[in-house]
A and B are shown apart, each in its own frame.
Chain A
Amino acid sequence: MKIRLRDIAHGRSGDKGDAANVGIIANDAKSYKLINKHITAEIVKKHFEGICFGNVERFELPNINALNFLLHNTLGGGGTVSLKHDAQGKTLAAALLRLEFEVD
């Protein structure tokens, strides 16, 4: 069965220098188990191909059903240098929610 992340999670993203932080919060504990199992750093890196040019770090916050990703080399040089319309990565959480993944 295919699940779209948007249907089981929400989140927020922002900037940390040239890295973007993308925090994803599962809607409940059951959904957290799913995202914790399936949303790996590799999958996120592949999802943001052509956007994230560095490595992706992944952190778990099981206490609030959340995962946090740091996407390095992503914001075109960071907040004030970047020519991007979304120089602070504000819409990247929504972009990650586009992700669809297979579950058993």
Chain B
Amino acid sequence: MKEKIRIASGQGFWGDLLDAPYQQVTKGEIDYLVMDYLAEVTMSILQKQKNRNPKHGYARDLPILMKKILPIIVEKKIKVITNGGGVNPVACADAILESAVELGIKEIKIAVVLGDDIKACLDEIVDSGNELNNMETGKSIKTVKDKILSANVYFGAFPIVEALEKDADIVITGRTTDTGLTLAPMIYEFGWKKDDYDLLSLGTVAGHILECGGQSTGGNFLGDWESIENLAEIGFPIAEAYPNGEVIITKHENTGGKVNFDTVAEQLVYEIGDPKEYITPDCVADFTSIKLEDLGNDRVKLFNVKGKPETEFYKVSCSYNDGYSAVGSLTYSWPQALTKAKAADKILRKRLENLNLKFDEIRSEYVGYNATHETLAKEIDEDNINEIVLRFAVRSHDRESVKRFGQEIAPLILTGPPSVTGFSGGRPKPNEVVAYWPALIPKKLVEPKVKLLELK
């Protein structure tokens, strides 16, 4: 057994700093590179891409990145684990294998984790009496079944562990929990068992700290944010894991950003609910048991994590079409910037009303005044305000109404309050609104499968 392993986060979301994974594999020693690409919205986008082209449906940045780092990870024996396979992990793995061939790499094993995509068997599941009731509203999925775009189960760490046991160098998954990507190598390397709930919870918490990339190394830090040095060259987080149940959160030397008690603590409270019940497919971690010790030099020790057995369910996330929306904006300058923007809003609303358009919601906000803190925004002295952006958004199940709204913005420049600009991007077009349907499914109904692809 290894004395310790270093697991590095390379992406906090699809669209994150493109060079972060390259920095992680070149600026210091690591054993694993883990990359989280999937947000809920990503799955529906990928599903649409796959519908148009059966070879698409994964994060297409990923094979490009892999081509760049393949020679390095082969030489340094760094394993890569990522959920960038989206709704087509096999095509993703094929694209990476193709790159390996082009680079003249002789030997590489890629494993894909399959089985999370349950869209094709939704009818069967519903007919068998599991109506995948919405976790928030309690409604049966039957109410939206015809509009479903994607349906995926969140798998945990164990399918990835199985892939690592098959000697995979690269593991490509579909919908896997962000935390599972980091936990899996610890289970595999240290031989942790399915009922080592405290250890599984420790790895899960480490995964939570890594899953948003630079958010634990000084990015988006609301404490003394100005004290964080060199964010331009921010180092992404690394979990240095030990078999006995300790993890050091750190980053490579000579990178920017900061790892300390405060930066890690902020990430711990990010997007959590009841801290005693952080539920994953692998365990239920108790965030109130976590102990953090700031060791200095960008090293924070994570220990004493307690956990409970996993539940009998997987979480399912379905996406479905739910109408259309569009957003337009106009910028009003001093004098009376806010008053003018508010007058424009009134005129636009009256015109939309006169056109008898149908909207589910109309929302206007004033960027520079209340677009973030709304009712908490302080009154402003208008003479000291240089400009205000009117941000106007609509949502409707009637596409034509949304389209017509887009045609009503620009005319405000010539037919509304003065000193207005900022309409260079063209008419706002209707975007499809993709809504989410979170549900639970008994674990016994879904079977993760691991498939190995090898260079021959």
Interface residues of chain A, those whose CB is within 8 Å of chain B, are 10-18, 21, 23-25, 27, 47-51, 57, 59-66, 68, 70, 76-81, 83-86, 91, 93-95, 97-98
Contact = CB atoms under 8 A, between A and B. Distances in A.
The A interface, classified by DSSP as helix, strand, loop or mixed, is: mixed
A10 B223 contact: yes
The 3 closest A-B pairs by CB, nearest first: A23-B269, A50-B375, A83-B393
B272 interface: yes
Interface stretch (B25-33, B79-87, B345-353, B432-440): B432-440
A100 B288 CA distance: 27
Contacts of B433: 80-81
- The B interface is mostly helix, strand or loop, or mixed, namely mixed
A92 B327 CA distance: 22
Contacts, number: 131
A97 B41 CA distance: 30
Interface residues of B, number: 51
Nearest to B435: A81
Nearest to B322: A81
A79 B41 contact: yes
B372 A51 contact: no
B365 interface: yes
B136 interface: yes
A98 B376 contact: yes
Given A12-B266, A61-B287, A81-B395, 20 more contacts: A10-B221, A11-B269, A12-B215, A14-B270, A16-B273, A18-B136, A21-B273, A23-B268, A25-B223, A25-B266, A51-B376, A59-B275, A59-B276, A60-B288, A64-B269, A66-B269, A70-B273, A79-B436, A94-B372, A98-B376
A15 B266 contact: no
Contacts of A79: 40-41, 436
Contacts of B221: 10
A43 to B, nearest CB: 13
Given A25-B269, A63-B290, A91 B373 contact: yes
Contact of A86 (B270, B371, B434): B371
B417 to A, nearest CB: 21
B436 A64 contact: no
Interface string B375-398: 110000000000000010111000
B436 A86 contact: no
Interface in B40-90: 40-41
A25 B435 CA distance: 32
Contacts of B407: none
